[in-house]
Amino acid sequence: MLKSTLFQPDTTPIPTGTLNLGNISKKIPMSKIPTAPGYFMYIKLNEHSDLVNEGARLIAERIKSFNIENPYFVTAETSTIAMAHVLRDSYKIDGLILYKSAQINDVNPVSITYKAVTSPKEQQFFLGMNKATSLLDKEIVIIDSICTTGGTLKGIYNLLIKAGVNPRKIKDATVLFTEGTPINQIELDNEARLNVHSFSHLPIIQEEKNTHIKTPQN
């Protein structure tokens, strides 16, 4: 009997990485990078309540350490939505979630186009000017779950500036993880720099050509 050769399953073993965040350490199966050979540690933060709660605790403590009078976080959908709710409910730190489409309660929304390494296409953030006005007296900390190249953080920053927020009111960015190459600053379009604080690092595992050997990118 002839065996079909039309479909040959990929039997290459998929590596598992160890994710560390504060008091939590857990094994996470890695996922193939969609645009290059290799693997990265893909997590849906909203589906891990332990990481959400620990991440909110760490970010709340970090924001408190900044000693700013009226802290307010700004983040983007969707990975940090659950953490944003914990920051509001458990730590009484208010904030704003930016969306990738104009919301029904956005008045005269402004938008920005940005490029994130996790998406093959350019994306947009929107912010209603009614919401932007409420930011003018706040001291803002930009938060996110993972920073790989800083594209999302830079997009958030640029939208806030376009909406009229004073750049001096944007204090820093705080993320749970950096990924690939550690980042502690992002260059901005106005030749300024945005400091990036993180709590842990996720490696990208590169696949060497014509082999199954994986080498971590530090």
CB 164 within 8 A of CB 131: no
Cα separation of 64 and 154, whole Å?
Answer: 23
Q: Give the model confidence (pLDDT) of 69-118 as tens digits.
A: 889 999 999 899 999 999 999 999 999 999 999 999 999 999 999 887 76
**Residue 212 reports pLDDT greater than 50:** no
What digits encode the pLDDT tens for the residues 40-66? 888 899 999 999 999 999 999 999 999
User: Are the CB atoms for 173 and 142 separated by under 8 Å?
Assistant: yes
Contact yes or no for 197/173 (Cβ under 8 A) = yes
CATH topology of domain 46-202: Rossmann fold (3.40.50)
Query: Is pLDDT of 218 > 60?
Result: no
Q: Beta strand 200-202 with 170-179: parallel, antiparallel or unpaired?
A: parallel
- Say which residue, 75 or 210, is predicted with more confidence: 75
Q: Do the beta carbons of residue 101 and residue 118 sit within 8 Å?
A: no
Q: Are 185 and 153 in contact (CB under 8 A)?
A: no
- Could you give the angle at the alpha carbon of 11 between the alpha carbons of 6 and 12, nearest 5°? 130
Q: What is residue 7's predicted lDDT score, i.e. its pLDDT? A: 54
Query: Is residue 208 within 8 Å of 214, Cβ to Cβ?
Result: yes
pLDDT exceeds 90 at position 210: no
Running DSSP on this structure, what letter comes out for residue 180? S
pLDDT at 32: 81
Q: What is the pTM of this model?
A: 0.85
Q: What is the pLDDT of residues 7-34, one digit of tens each?
A: 555 566 677 888 999 999 998 888 887 7
First to last CA, the chain: 49
pLDDT digits (tens, 9 = 90+) for 117-134: 766 788 899 999 999 998
- Residue spans of the domains in the chain: they are 46-202
- 57: CB partners within 8 A, 6+ apart: 22, 91
